[in-house]
Structure 1
Amino acid sequence: MGDSCGCGSTVDIRALEAGQRRVLMIVLAINIATFVMMITAAIYSGSSSLLSGSLDNLGDALTYLLSLAVIGASLRAKAKVALIKGLLIFGAAVAVAIQIGWRLAHPEVPIFEAIGIAAVINLAFNALCLWLLTPYRFGDVNMSSAWECSRNDLYEGVAVLLAAAGVWLFDAGWPDLVIAGGLLLMFLRSAWRVLRMAWRSYRDEAK
């Protein structure tokens, strides 16, 4: 009887890990594709908000790759990877801050049509990724931090749409910079949340 229960538990864990791998591989592929699309649109349009979104997608792709690597690993290993994820988000914030500074020194009006089209496509795929990851929202630190990154993507997608609308409405570049500044604050907040989550998980495991 006991052996049967233990075997069933092992099968359940393996099934859960297989599901996690499958979902992470899908969202990884989506984020790589959307990164290429967003960075191309950002260069063409001259948009800081699009560049912020593309860096976010790149960071998420790296995050999902790291998440795949530690499925089935110890809680300590997952906590260490979550720490790296937090640092990646913080690195994206630094890159956005540098871009905003450069744009303030070299003001221009970005192409709102390119921003809007790229933002709509990105938002649709971000919503798909969040839907796929939501069942694992309250899992271990590895999957919950992946969900945190995906949720940020949804906010970022809406924000970039607002940037496109603002550039069109005011025929100026400042709405794009304002949204990029808002995304910068979001990245900093998310980095803090993930780093705190990783530290708590590592500390609890060490007890």
Structure 2
Amino acid sequence: MSDSCCSGTVDLRAMQAKQRRVLMIVLAINLATFVMMLAASIYSGSSSLLSGSLDNLGDALTYLLSIAVIGASGRAKAQVALLKGLLIFGAAVAVAVQIGWRLGHPEVPVFEAIGIAGLANLALNGICLWLLTPYRHGDINLASAWECSRNDVFEGLAVLLAAAGVWWFGAGWPDLVVAGALLLLFVGSAWRVLRWAWRSYRAEP
């Protein structure tokens, strides 16, 4: 009986260590993509890139929180997931402010910079999604991390669409349209994570 308990404890610790390693990798990737996309946004004047960079920063904070509660109680994980949802919603507010500012100060962003940064972001976030996909049906902690990573892949595709639109039309409005679409994506994602977290929180004793 004791051998069985020890085996179960070892298996649990090994699983938690594996989860921690995966989250550390995606944390590092998101910090790197945040810096890269922020620099590209400043250079290009792109709202879609800025929204993507803010999303990556929020995701990095999300993964950091996810690492902190590995092995914690279900209630603690639900509380952290609530905070994750609020972080995603905060990114949506920041994007909305940026779009409003760009509407008052229109300019044509540099589509080459948008395209290069978008491709790099899509490739790196594809790696993150691949790493997190095995945990998408796990507890609220890993499931919410997977939700963030899936958003990043959609974001990468949208940024490439923005670059193509700016190049084709020679105008800045496609970039703003994509930024607006990302804003709606963030709001929807925040709602789903907050709903899951609240249900998990209420289900815990």
Question: TM bucket by the smaller chain?
Answer: over 0.9
Q: What's 2:170 paired with? A: 171
Aligned mates of 1:146, 1:70 — CA distance in 2? 12
Aligned mates of 1:6, 1:204 — CA distance in 2? 27
Q: What's 2:84 paired with? A: 85
Give the 3-state SS of the residue equivalent to 2:89 in structure 1.
helix
Q: What's 2:130 paired with? A: 131
Letter in 1 for 2:62: T
| CA-CA distance at 1:45 after TM superposition | 0.3
> 87-96 or 6-15, which moves further after superposition?
6-15
Q: What's 1:149 paired with? A: 148
Aligned mates of 1:49, 1:194 — CA distance in 2? 23
Letter in 2 for 1:29: A
| CA-CA distance at 1:50 after TM superposition | 0.2
Letter in 1 for 2:15: L
Give the 3-state SS of the residue equivalent to 1:59 in structure 2.
helix
Instruction: Structure 2: state its 5+ residue gaps.
Output: none
Give the 3-state SS of the residue equivalent to 2:37 in structure 1.
helix
Q: What's 1:16 paired with? A: 15
Instruction: Structure 1: state its 5+ residue gaps.
Output: none
Q: What's 1:118 paired with? A: 117
- What percent identity do the matched residue pairs reach? 78
Aligned residues: 205
Letter in 2 for 1:33: A
Aligned mates of 1:40, 1:180 — CA distance in 2? 17
Q: What's 2:27 paired with? A: 28
Q: What's 1:199 paired with? A: 198
| CA-CA distance at 1:69 after TM superposition | 0.4
Deviation track 1:76-128 (CA, whole Å, cap 9, x = no partner) reads 00000000000000000000000000000011000000000000000000000
Question: Scaled by the length of structure 2, what TM-score is found?
Answer: 0.99
Aligned mates of 1:154, 1:10 — CA distance in 2? 35
Q: What's 1:49 paired with? A: 48
| CA-CA distance at 1:44 after TM superposition | 0.4
CA RMSD of aligned residues (A): 0.5
Letter in 2 for 1:92: A
Give the 3-state SS of the residue equivalent to 1:109 in structure 2.
coil
| CA-CA distance at 1:56 after TM superposition | 0.4
| CA-CA distance at 1:135 after TM superposition | 1.0
| CA-CA distance at 1:7 after TM superposition | 1.4
